C-alpha cells in the first residue's frame, strides 16, 4: 500500500531501501576511465624487496575502508584486517613463516611446484616480513558471533574475502604502495600469534610499503585479451 511507503525524489521506496547513487557516464568518459585504470593496473607487480620507510597510517586506513566496500554473501562482511607494524610481532611472524617455508621448499612442495617458482626467485627466506613497514593479515570469518553470543552463519566466505582482498590490493597500488600476496603455508601460526578469535581464519598475508630504490621484478607477460576473453 502506498501509505506504507516513503517517497524520495518522487520515487516510492520499499521499506529498508534507498535510491541507488549511480553515476551515469558518457561513453567517452567511460572509455577514458577504463583506459586509465588499465594502465595503472598494468604497472602493479608483486614486490619482494621493501624499504623500511614508514607509510602514512591514514592512507592504509582508507585502503582498508575500500576493501570493506566489497560485496559479501548476505552482506555478512566476513572479514577483518589485522595490521601489524611493531617490529617484535613482524619478527615473530618472519621466524614462524620461515620455519614453515623451509619445510615447503625441502619436501612439502613437489618438483613441478619448485620448478614453477624458479622464475620468481623465491626461497624460504622471507626478509620482507620484517622490512615492510606494515603487514596486513586478511582474516576470513568462517562464522560470526551475534550480540547474544550465538553463532551466526556466513556465506560464500572464500569468494567474499577474495574479492575484498582484490579491492585492497588495487587500492594500495592506486595509493602508490607496493604489495605482495604472501601465503605462508600452513597459516595456523598467524591465528595464534595475532590472538584473534577462533572464527577468524588467516586468509592472506599482505606486506605493504615502498619498494627499495633498486627493486627488480621477474619478467612476466600477461595474457592478452584474446586469451582472457573467450
Ligand atoms: N609459499 C612459498 C611458495 C610460493 C608459492 C607460490 I604458488 C608462489 O606464487 C610464490 C611462493 C613462498 O612464499 O615462498
State residue 3's pLDDT score.
Answer: 53
Domain boundaries, the chain: 47-228
State residue 1's pLDDT score.
Answer: 47
Cβ(170)–Cβ(230) below 8 Å: no
Q: How far is the CA of 67 from the centre of ligand 1 (A)?
A: 23
Q: Say if ligand 1 is within 6 A of residue 46 CB.
A: no
State residue 192's pLDDT score.
Answer: 87
State residue 144's pLDDT score.
Answer: 97
Q: Say if ligand 1 is within 6 A of residue 114 CB.
A: no
State residue 180's pLDDT score.
Answer: 98
Cβ(84)–Cβ(177) below 8 Å: no
Q: How far is the CA of 96 from the centre of ligand 1 (A)?
A: 15
State residue 5's pLDDT score.
Answer: 58
Residue 67: asked if its preceding bond is cis (omega within 30°), the reply is no
Q: Say if ligand 1 is within 6 A of residue 6 CB.
A: no
Q: Say if ligand 1 is within 6 A of residue 85 CB.
A: no
Q: Say if ligand 1 is within 6 A of residue 18 CB.
A: no
Cβ(76)–Cβ(141) below 8 Å: yes
CATH code of the domain made up of 47-228: 3.40.109.10
Residue of 193, 198, 164 lying closest to 181 (CA atoms): 164
Q: Which grid coordinates belong to 41?
A: 593496473
Q: Say if ligand 1 is within 6 A of residue 158 CB.
A: no
Cβ(140)–Cβ(78) below 8 Å: yes
Angle at 67 (CA atoms; ends 163, 162), nearest 5 degrees? 20
Q: What is the pLDDT along the chain (230 residues), one digit of tens a residue?
A: 445 556 767 789 999 999 999 999 999 999 999 999 999 999 999 999 999 999 999 999 999 999 999 999 999 999 999 999 999 999 999 999 999 999 999 999 999 999 999 999 999 999 999 999 999 999 999 999 999 999 999 999 999 999 999 999 999 999 999 999 998 888 989 988 999 999 999 999 999 999 999 999 999 999 999 999 99
Q: How far is the CA of 149 from the centre of ligand 1 (A)?
A: 38
State residue 159's pLDDT score.
Answer: 98
Cβ(217)–Cβ(45) below 8 Å: yes
Q: How far is the CA of 153 from the centre of ligand 1 (A)?
A: 31
Atom of ligand 1 lying closest to residue 123 CA: 14
State residue 10's pLDDT score.
Answer: 79
Amino acid at each position: 500500500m502506498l501509505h506504507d511507503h516513503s517517497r524520495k525524489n518522487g520515487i516510492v521506496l520499499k521499506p529498508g531501501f534507498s535510491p541507488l547513487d549511480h553515476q551515469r557516464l558518457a561513453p567517452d568518459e567511460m572509455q577514458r576511465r577504463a583506459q586509465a585504470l588499465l594502465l595503472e593496473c598494468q604497472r602493479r607487480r608483486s614486490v619482494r624487496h621493501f624499504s623500511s620507510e614508514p607509510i602514512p597510517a591514514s592512507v592504509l586506513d582508507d585502503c582498508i575502508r575500500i576493501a570493506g566496500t566489497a560485496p559479501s554473501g548476505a552482506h555478512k562482511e566476513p572479514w577483518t584486517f589485522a595490521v601489524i607494524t611493531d617490529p617484535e610481532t613482524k619478527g615473530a611472524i618472519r621466524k614462524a613463516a620461515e620455519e614453515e617455508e623451509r619445510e615447503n621448499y625441502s619436501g612439502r612442495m613437489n618438483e613441478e611446484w619448485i620448478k614453477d617458482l624458479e622464475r620468481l626467485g623465491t626461497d624460504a627466506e622471507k626478509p620482507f616480513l620484517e622490512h615492510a613497514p606494515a603487514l596486513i593479515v586478511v582474516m576470513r570469518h568462517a562464522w560470526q558471533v551475534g550480540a547474544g553470543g550465538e553463532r551466526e552463519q556466513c556465506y560464500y566466505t572464500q569468494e567474499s574475502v577474495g574479492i575484498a582482498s582484490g579491492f585492497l590490493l588495487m587500492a594500495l597500488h592506486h595509493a602508490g604502495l607496493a604489495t605482495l600476496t604472501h601465503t605462508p603455508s600452513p597459516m595456523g601460526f598467524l591465528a595464534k600469534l595475532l590472538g584473534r578469535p577462533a572464527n577468524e581464519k588467516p586468509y592472506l598475508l599482505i606486506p605493504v610499503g615502498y619498494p627499495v630504490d633498486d627493486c627488480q621484478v621477474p619478467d612476466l607477460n600477461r595474457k592478452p585479451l584474446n586469451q582472457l576473453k573467450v
